[in-house]
Amino acid sequence: MYYVKKKSQYNLLSSSMESLGSRATSASPYSSENTSSSAVPTPSPYSQPNSTFEGLSPTPAIPSNTDYPGPHAFQVSFQQSSTAKSATWTYSPLLKKLYCQIAKTCPIQIKLSSSPPHGSIIRAMPIYKKAEHVTEVVKRCPNHELGRDFNDGQVAPASHLI
């Protein structure tokens, strides 16, 4: 009796699945009868983005802090400042650190061995060097954050570095 009951349950389940399957295939939006010109077009992988930011890859959660010149031999360098007293920036190649005065420009030199693909973009982001702090946002020091000299009339919060 137990075997028959199981078999009848199986037959009932099987017939239910068949009826669902026939309904699902007839009403499927992917069937050939439902395809129309109003479907969302698939962009070509070779097409250029319409906007500068449309084709950007997302920024990773943990930024890389290792040098990688890549196929174009990418290099970033800084001019040596002329005199120590009037310098608005100083770069230490030994420490690989840039020291800048607040609200002063710092020219950056970017060198490539060959032209990058059309539409390439360079992103700059300050990060902490130590691995345990690399996910923390780099902020202004408290002295500059609280100072009114460079914060009045600014849209960004005072703690923002860039």
Q: Which residue has the tokens 């780099």?
A: 138
Instruction: Report the pLDDT value the prediction gives residue 162, as an integer from 0 to 100.
Output: 59
Give the Cα separation of 100 and 114 in Å (integer): 30
Give the Cα separation of 151 and 157 in Å (integer): 8
Terminal-to-terminal C-alpha distance of the chain:
78
Give the Cα separation of 148 and 103 in Å (integer): 13
Give the Cα separation of 65 and 131 in Å (integer): 9
Binding residue ranges: 141, 144
Binding residue ranges for Zn(2+): 141, 144
Q: Where are the chain's structural domains?
A: 66-119, 125-162
Q: What is the DSSP letter of 7?
A: H
Instruction: Residue 101: count other Cβ atoms within 10 Å of its Cβ.
Output: 11
Instruction: Report the pLDDT value the prediction gives residue 153, as an integer from 0 to 100.
Output: 61
- The whole-number mean pLDDT for each consecutive block of 10 residues of the chain, a chain of 162 residues, reads 44 48 48 51 56 59 80 87 75 83 82 90 81 81 66 61 61
Would the CA dihedral through 58, 135, 126, 91 be positive or negative?
negative
